Chains A and B, each alone.
Chain A
């Protein structure tokens, strides 16, 4: 109810302010900041009457904002699990990008050289469990636990000094050398190459982050929303995503295999 009321309000406001220009509200996960900003700019070039309003944040924060009635047309999160509590156009759900985890360490601090080193009395910063990257990190650590053992897992847990509200906060604190290591996405590492070093995670523990895009049925400019989501799969957007380190999408419609479900199968 509140959602509808606020959409109408926004519609009224935008309707009176700008008769010709249309605007599209796009909410995107923090890790997409650079790539989606670029994509939005080239989308605006293709649709000169359209203004794309961008809102970046932890996926769980965006979802909470939407549940409290924030007007949104398109949502791009770092994982399908975040979407569970939302009502949206299910048929619109598509994976448009993939990403991988990475351990980053500040340049000049050589305490951590491998995943295994995370245990030895270091300061580790991760994202909160409610944030997709925090959840992916826990999955990865659980996989590693099966090989490195329970005591290693315990000492990793005790090494965690903070659980941040989004992936960029983790990156920022590692860049400031407040931690000896942080778990982020490979794409985040690429934005801070001059400040942090990448420690690869062994292939056998890898967790793939699947980024879904969804549209909201109630939005007044659904044509534009559709155009934007389609645009994500066109060469200009693919290039932007690739340039920033994102992997290719798996064009699956509807229910997407969620990382947490994969655990149950094994």
Chain B
């Protein structure tokens, strides 16, 4: 088999430039952050705390509202279903900075629906939800579409109520896919930058998440930016491992 399509190293060699290009920045970041002083400024700690709080909040919101939404799309036909489905893919290809402008126009103080959320931690969660929820929705729609409806019918015949069928038959089949979707979505929320800086602004302790602290800080304190970047790299690796682990179940 391998002789038919050539040797493995032919292929690897042909792709080496891209492989090196992807690996070298990661290696550089690791090398630079090893032995880097651990900054303990309050801004630094605030950024880490805020990042975790907001990204967890946004994943909770995404799961609570995203799960029924994905189920509706996966299982039913209704008006505008296709349009809604396309809408979910939009934030994935939409530039986050453009998303930030759109959020300002939608929910800014002079927006379509005027709110005073801008420049608060709520705005950070909104920006994160906007760009990250489609990752969960996509995973959930795929999971719900692939379940065995025969078992559901049996359960219903046995007298199970609709919510019982959903909780006890559908969810167990989908849980690992949903979890891996949630982790992907959470990681995306954690890394959100463009929409946040535009919609939520930058204030240490309130709206300055890790990516913002990296961006604002690198100009002034490169070491702190490197340490924060290395932390984000570690989180990204963990997220990938967790998603892989769920995938194997």
Contacts and interface: CB of A to CB of B under 8 A. Distances in A.
Interface in B26-48: none
B218 A64 contact: yes
Contacts of B203: 160-163
B24 to A, nearest CB: 15
Nearest to A163: B202
B158 interface: no
Contact of A123 (B119, B202, B215): B119
Contacts of B104: 176, 178
Nearest to A59: B219
A236 B206 CA distance: 46
Interface string B113-127: 000001110000000
Interface residues of A, number: 20
Interface in B187-220: 197, 200-204, 206-207, 215-216, 218-220
B207 A162 contact: yes
Contacts of B164: none
A178 B219 contact: no
B interface secondary structure, majority = loop
B216 A130 contact: yes
A177 B110 contact: yes
A77 interface: no
Given A125-B201, A177-B109, A165 B218 contact: no
Given A125-B201, A161-B201, A162-B201, A178 B118 contact: yes
Nearest to A127: B202
B225 to A, nearest CB: 10
A8 interface: no
B202 A162 contact: yes
Nearest to B116: A123
B110 A176 contact: yes
Interface of B: 104, 108-110, 118-120, 197, 200-204, 206-207, 215-216, 218-220, 222
8 contacts: A60-B220, A130-B220, A164-B202, A165-B202, A176-B104, A176-B108, A176-B109, A178-B108
Q: List the 4 closest pairs (A to B, CB-CB), nearest first.
A: A162-B201, A161-B119, A64-B219, A177-B110
Given A161-B120, A162-B119, A177-B109, 4 more contacts: A123-B119, A130-B220, A162-B200, A163-B202
